Amino acid sequence: MNLTLKVWRQKDANSKGEIVAYDVKDISEEMSFLEMLDVLNEKLVAEGDEPIAFDHDCREGICGACSLYINGEPHGPMNRTTTCQLHMRSFKDGETVFIEPWRAKAFPVIKDLMVDRSAFDRIIQAGGYVSVNTSGNTIDANAIPIPKEDADEAFDAATCIGCGACVAACKNASAMLFVSAKVSQLSLLPQGKVEAEERVKNMVEQMDHEGFGACTVTGACEAECPKGISLENISRMNREYLKATVSPGK
């Protein structure tokens, strides 16, 4: 298949970028989206041009490194799918495909399609951990009984890969889905309960400090999240935040 790509090119963080059109020819439907970009990049390199910079790592949908706002949606048109797991059969021969970086004040562009997502790391550092005793008599986590329902909910929240598609999709560039998944995965379990109040306050504070917008419950994040993290996590985080600020210590 042949496609016209409209790709955001930006030399570095301080340059003004622009959309550049590329024609790609003889693309196989079995290729992944990133392989299609690899083919284009090989051609660009062979012609002496700068290849298009984009993030990727595992290419199997588990690391959260890949991104790309494809035809108006983060990770492209397939639901519950990361860009690395998206295949060219999702596109039509002759189609024009827009490829842009995540857009958010808190995710500045580094180059072309790569953005700096270290704001997420700083949110995790602010509280996305549990303190455990490592002096040698650590209790095995499996020795603590946990209701199946809680374990399932915590696990669902823990499948967040930190890709940032929720921020990219949200009209407010809000990071609530990501932060609430991280808050939920810990606070639902006994090990995470100890620091639950401080955690939610600190992580929300860091999130606001990074310049993400506020949640207005449009549901765009949930619809675009490759891991199906649900809006209920956001409501749980609101609940915990209210509890931690209105009646702390209960």
Partner 1 sequence: MSATGLFLCLFLVGHLAGNLQLFLTGEEAALQFNAYAKFMTTNPAVKILSYLTYFSILFHAIDGIMLVASNKAARPQKYAYSNPSANSKWNSRNMGVLGTIILVFIAVHMSNFWYVMHFGSLPVDSAGNKDLYTVVISFFTDDSMGLIFVLFYVFAMAAMCFHLLHGFKSAFSSFGLRTAKTKVIFEKIGYAFSIVVSIAFAAIPVYIYLTH
Residues that bind ligand FES (CB under 6 A): 56-59, 61-66, 82, 84
Cα gap 221→237, rounded to integer Å: 15
Query: Which residue number, 103 or 201, has a Cβ lying nearer to partner 1?
Result: 103
Is the CB of residue 32 less than 8 Å from the CB of residue 82? no
Is the CB of residue 162 less than 8 Å from the CB of residue 178? yes
Give yes or no for residue 234 binding partner 1 (CB under 8 A).
yes
Strand partners, 7: 20, 99
Q: Which does 92 bind (CB under 5 to 8 A by kind): partner 1, ligand SF4, ligand HEM, none?
A: none
Give yes or no for residue 216 binding ligand HEM (CB under 6 A).
yes
List contacts with ligand SF4 (CB under 6 A): 160-166, 177-178, 181, 225-227, 229
Q: Which does 13 bind (CB under 5 to 8 A by kind): ligand HEM, partner 1, ligand FES, none?
A: none
Query: Which residue number, 58 or 214, has a Cβ lying nearer to ligand HEM?
Result: 214
Binding segment for partner 1 among 29-37, 129-137, 139-147, 225-233 (CB under 8 A)? Answer: 225-233
| Residue spans of alpha helices (H) in 118-175 | 118-125, 148-158, 165-169
Pair of tokens at residue 17: 């970028």
Query: Could you give the C-alpha distances from 71 to 1, 169, 217, in angstroms and in order?
Result: 17, 12, 23
Binding segment for partner 1 among 72-80, 84-92, 121-129, 133-141 (CB under 8 A)? Answer: 72-80
Query: Could you give the C-alpha distances from 241 to 154, 157, 197, 246, in angstroms and in order?
Result: 18, 17, 7, 8
Pair of tokens at residue 238: 């609101």
Site size for ligand HEM, by CB under 6 A? 2
Nearest partner of 52 among 76, 36, 64, judged by Cα: 36
Give yes or no for residue 13 binding partner 1 (CB under 8 A).
no
Query: Which residue number, 62 or 146, has a Cβ lying nearer to ligand FES?
Result: 62
Helix (H, G, I), strand (E, B) or coil at 100: strand
Give yes or no for residue 15 binding ligand HEM (CB under 6 A).
no
CA atoms within 13 A on the CB side of 97: 26
Rounded to a whole number of angstroms, the minimum distance from the CB of residue 89 to ligand FES is 18
Query: Which residue number, 3 or 84, has a Cβ lying nearer to ligand FES?
Result: 84
Where along the sequence are the contacts to partner 1 (CB under 8 A)? 6, 8, 19, 69, 71-73, 77, 98, 100, 103-106, 169, 171-174, 211-220, 223-224, 230-232, 234-242
